[in-house]
Amino acid sequence: MASARLADPDTTESTNDISGTKSNDKHGKDTRYRKVKDEIKQVGSESKFHVTPVSEEEHELNNTVPARPTPELKFDIDDEADTLSNHNSITALLSSKFRDIQKRLKQYGIESPRFRKRLVSRWESMNYDVCENVLYLKDQEKYKSKKWVTLRWLSKWLVMFFIGLGTALLAATIYYVVEKLAHYKFELIQHYFDECAKNNCLYQPALLWMGINLVVTLAGASLVTFLQPLAAGSGIPYIKSYLNGIKIPGLLTFRAFVAKTVGVVLSILGGLACGKEGPMAHSGSIIAAGFGRGRINFCNGKTLSFYSVFRNDHEIRDFVAGGAASGVSSAFGAPIGGTLFSLEEAASFWNQDLTWRVFFSSMVACFATNFLISAINGDPTKLADPGLVRFNAFKFDLKFDLIEIPVFIFMAVIGGLTGALFVVMNYKLTVFRKRYLDKNWIKIIEAGLVAVVSAAVAFGLMVGVNECTDKAPFDSHAVTASVYCSDKKHNSLSTLFLTTPEGCLKALLHDPFESHGPVSLVAFILVFFLLGVWTYGLSVSSGVFIPCLAIGAAWGRLVGIGVANMMPENPNLQLDVGKFALIGAACQLGGILRTTISLTVIIVECTDDISFGLPIMIVLMISKWVGDFITTGLYDMNVEVMGLPTLPFECPPLCDDLRASDVMNAPLATFKTKEKVENIYRMLKEETFCGFPVIEDDPRTPGKGKLKGLILRNQLLVLLKKKIFCPEGQVPPRNITIKDFRDFYPVYLKVSEIELSEEEMTYVMDLKPYYNPSPYTVEQKFSLPRVFNLFRGLGLRHLIVTDENNVPVGIVTRKDLAKFRVGSKRGLVKIEQLKIQDK
């Protein structure tokens, strides 16, 4: 967590110090200092930097000790520096970046954080590596029989089954409640509409509409804001980050579940421009975590515990992968897409057995959702609705022709550009919200305001545009208001606004050619785009898939009408207007969310027609490229604003010269194998590190022994709480098992919860049975890309850096790697070093 600032070369005298420290120094005398060699011998420009020590700027959460000075930064590429060198142009590049960022930071001042250029220190990494201490081995003992291996294997499949089933039940329930209530709401409004259009009392439906929206949305927003703010939005950025390996406390709790599921129903009934699909991934994950932990923590603090065998980051994450996949699968009827969704973030840990289990659970979810929704719709054996939303109801055969590809590409470019616009606008809004709308009551009022405005604008457009059509809508249950239209006609915007956003999307995809005129569509697009931007990021549970798709479908339909009008001799094109709407929807989604493979597969599965898969893939890729040229995707933007230290898949380029010793945290806080309770307590209180190397107690070199293992803060806290210590020379009075540690998972103790007497402080704790005796280590010379691969490939939380004598000199954590971020803005690669801040 120590950070280094490179000084401006213009203001510092240039020297070039390479003789400082030989890393084969027997006693590792420089190990308590961070070494970075900055040896710039760029051909052409002989500019050399002297790098001066600077004090830290960032203060860690709970960190009360003053920051230590970080002396003498030197890049140490070759320990003897007698061979080929001169290869440090990267350092020049990087340091120019450092200066850049520094200057900007100065401009903004520390008080106004640049939301996209920082990591928030409180996000910790999950620990995917197994702590193989003696307790663990003893516990494993029990399971070391063929019977247990088989039983464990079976129970994992069983849990996955229930995860799929639970998610499907939830999806069907939400579907039922939303459809029934929304239909009732819109029928009521339509009734007043049609009554009042004749009797000149249109203020009645307007007030009714705004009133319902306001009340319901306020309820939904309050629920989310007060119960669990992490339930706001779709939750997909959080779930992606979780699968990437970040601990997000509170994300997978019962509170979040209630806020998420009840919240999304209220959001949609409250008339917000949002969908119920995105939140399914989050809800499914919570269900999975609940089943995996075998315990429910109710809101009132009560707990129901069933089994504890899966309570560790590794197992829970596997289940959550299944839950997220099930959620996506039951939302879109896309079992393959759902599986990919889970696995593309968790890719380093992909294995075929897990993949099958995830696939199984998402298949169960898809199948059960299909069964339940078919049952709700009357015939449980029909199995025609595998998900909450489907695009597959095209009455004609969707076929595409080579000749249409250019039109599609054009649409993809539009999708990319408008998508980037959406992201930029939403980003500005998000930053505004973070800065000025940070009080709970303001958040709730904003949500209410959006709901009222949504109703008001829809009302205004329906009355103002007043385009009439006599085409029956595709959905026979659709609510159609006549307003000012003659008897057999209806207001063409009414089928878009007097329905849920899903209904609106379906109408745009499947309604006949003349249902929606260009004027209505243009008005709809503008309004829905702005409402979509405004809605995403409110403190309500809401998905962004459906609004994106609806916006795209609307302008896609507009393009379809244009093409049909340009070639009136071809009547097929009128039939094909739904095809253009579909492509438009895909383009817009690609432009806003920057589709990954999984999203592509989800849309293809949702369309239920693989022959249309290829053009969908093409437009998704192009819209992604166009969008990436301008800005990151919406979810990535979210992740950046939250300061979540997600690790990319590969180490950023141009970082090959950086060494483990350059990025590690030093000086180190270490423990001896038998350590005084007082030292442990003090260290835990003063330091924010979550892992501490345990070293050999060598009296000749105090604090610099050979590495014996790694012990985690959580373990130490449990040990202190359970008082596993004794006066020196005695044997600890009680034993502790791995279950005692599991009981505290995942809600760990805080230092403030530990109470120790004066006498206990003098006792000694034997760490030997508890530390991980074989943590992964690297030598100081390891290059950043290889440290990165190790970290990413194994899902590490801590990586200890040692010198040649196996003495620990530093520790690398997730944030040390995540702070190097690649941006490819405007087609050029650039690397930024992010700040690590508290907030």
Distance, in Å, from the CA atom of 518 to the CA atom of 730, rounded to the nearest integer, reads: 86
Residues between 320 and 339 that touch a second copy (CB under 8 A) = 335-336, 339
Q: Does residue number 39 form part of the binding site for a second copy (CB under 8 A)?
A: no
Using the rule CB under 8 A, which residue among 15, 19, 301, 403 binds a second copy? 403
Pick 73 or 619: Cβ nearer a second copy: 619
The window from 258-266, 291-299, 348-356, 421-429 that contacts a second copy (CB under 8 A) reads 348-356
Give the shortest CB-537-to-a second copy separation in angstroms.
25
Q: Does residue number 18 form part of the binding site for a second copy (CB under 8 A)?
A: no
Structure tokens given for 720:
């202190």
Residues 69-108: x/- map of binding to a second copy (CB under 8 A)? Answer: --------xx----xx-xx-xx--x---------------
Q: Does residue number 726 form part of the binding site for a second copy (CB under 8 A)?
A: no
Distance, in Å, from the CA atom of 343 to the CA atom of 351, rounded to the nearest integer, reads: 9
Residues between 788 and 827 that touch a second copy (CB under 8 A) = 789-790, 793-794, 804-806, 827
β-strands 671-672, 798-802 pairing: unpaired
The window from 45-53, 129-137, 638-646, 738-746 that contacts a second copy (CB under 8 A) reads 129-137
Q: Which residues contact residue 397 at a Cβ distance below 8 angstroms, ignoring those fewer than 6 apart?
A: none
Distance, in Å, from the CA atom of 485 to the CA atom of 72, rounded to the nearest integer, reads: 79
Residues between 151 and 210 that touch a second copy (CB under 8 A) = 153
Pick 311 or 357: Cβ nearer a second copy: 357
Q: Does residue number 730 form part of the binding site for a second copy (CB under 8 A)?
A: no
Instruction: Map 130-170 to HEC letters.
Output: CCCCHHHHHHHHHCCCHHHHHHHHHHHHHHHHHHHHHHHHH
Pick 294 or 769: Cβ nearer a second copy: 769
Using the rule CB under 8 A, which residue among 512, 667, 769, 823 binds a second copy? 769
Helix (H) or strand (E) segment spanning residue 297: strand 295-297
Give the shortest CB-50-to-a second copy separation in angstroms.
22
Q: Does residue number 732 form part of the binding site for a second copy (CB under 8 A)?
A: no
Size of the site for a second copy (CB under 8 A): 105
Q: Does residue number 144 form part of the binding site for a second copy (CB under 8 A)?
A: yes
Query: Do 556 and 513 contact (CB within 8 A), yes or no?
Result: no
CA 144 centroid distance within chain: 37
Using the rule CB under 8 A, which residue among 69, 460, 464, 653 binds a second copy? 653
Give the shortest CB-590-to-a second copy separation in angstroms.
13
Give the shortest CB-338-to-a second copy separation in angstroms.
12
Which of 225, 123, 215 lies closest to 438, judged by CA?
Answer: 225
Give the shortest CB-829-to-a second copy separation in angstroms.
5
Residues 358-377: x/- map of binding to a second copy (CB under 8 A)? Answer: -xx--x--xx--xx------
Q: Does residue number 828 form part of the binding site for a second copy (CB under 8 A)?
A: yes
Q: Does residue number 491 form part of the binding site for a second copy (CB under 8 A)?
A: no
Distance, in Å, from the CA atom of 220 to the CA atom of 592, rounded to the nearest integer, reads: 25
Q: Does residue number 611 form part of the binding site for a second copy (CB under 8 A)?
A: yes
Pick 224 or 619: Cβ nearer a second copy: 619
Distance, in Å, from the CA atom of 495 to the CA atom of 474, rounded to the nearest integer, reads: 10
| Sign of the four-CA dihedral 639, 640, 644, 646 | positive
Distance, in Å, from the CA atom of 567 to the CA atom of 443, rounded to the nearest integer, reads: 50
Pick 594 or 819: Cβ nearer a second copy: 594
Pick 64 or 140: Cβ nearer a second copy: 140
Is residue 827 left, alpha or beta, with left meaning phi > 0 and alpha meaning psi from -120 to 50? Answer: left
Structure tokens given for 378:
């009357």
Query: Do 283 and 325 contact (CB within 8 A), yes or no?
Result: no
Using the rule CB under 8 A, which residue among 134, 201, 304, 393 binds a second copy? 134
Transcribe 60-124 into DSSP letters: -TT--SPPPPB--------SS--S-----HHHHHHHHHHHHHHHHHHHHTTTS--GGGEEETT-E
Which of 708, 714, 721, 722 lies closest to 772, judged by CA?
Answer: 708
Residues between 383 and 402 that touch a second copy (CB under 8 A) = 383-384, 386, 392, 399-402
Residues between 502 and 541 that touch a second copy (CB under 8 A) = none
**502-507-510 Cα angle (round to 5):** 120
Residues between 618 and 647 that touch a second copy (CB under 8 A) = 618, 621
Q: Does residue number 760 form part of the binding site for a second copy (CB under 8 A)?
A: no
Give the shortest CB-547-to-a second copy separation in angstroms.
24
Structure tokens given for 787:
């440290």
Question: Any bridge partners for residue 659, and if so which?
Answer: 783
Residues 562-601: x/- map of binding to a second copy (CB under 8 A)? Answer: ----------------------------------xx--xx
Distance, in Å, from the CA atom of 287 to the CA atom of 173, rounded to the nearest integer, reads: 14
Distance, in Å, from the CA atom of 669 to the CA atom of 692, rounded to the nearest integer, reads: 6
Give the shortest CB-337-to-a second copy separation in angstroms.
9
The window from 101-109, 135-143, 455-463, 572-580 that contacts a second copy (CB under 8 A) reads 135-143
Distance, in Å, from the CA atom of 507 to the CA atom of 486, rounded to the nearest integer, reads: 21
Is residue 608 left, alpha or beta, with left meaning phi > 0 and alpha meaning psi from -120 to 50? Answer: left
Using the rule CB under 8 A, which residue among 104, 614, 685, 698 binds a second copy? 614
Give the shortest CB-581-to-a second copy separation in angstroms.
19
Q: Does residue number 47 form part of the binding site for a second copy (CB under 8 A)?
A: no
Pick 250 or 823: Cβ nearer a second copy: 823
Q: Does residue number 758 form part of the binding site for a second copy (CB under 8 A)?
A: no
Pick 800 or 834: Cβ nearer a second copy: 800
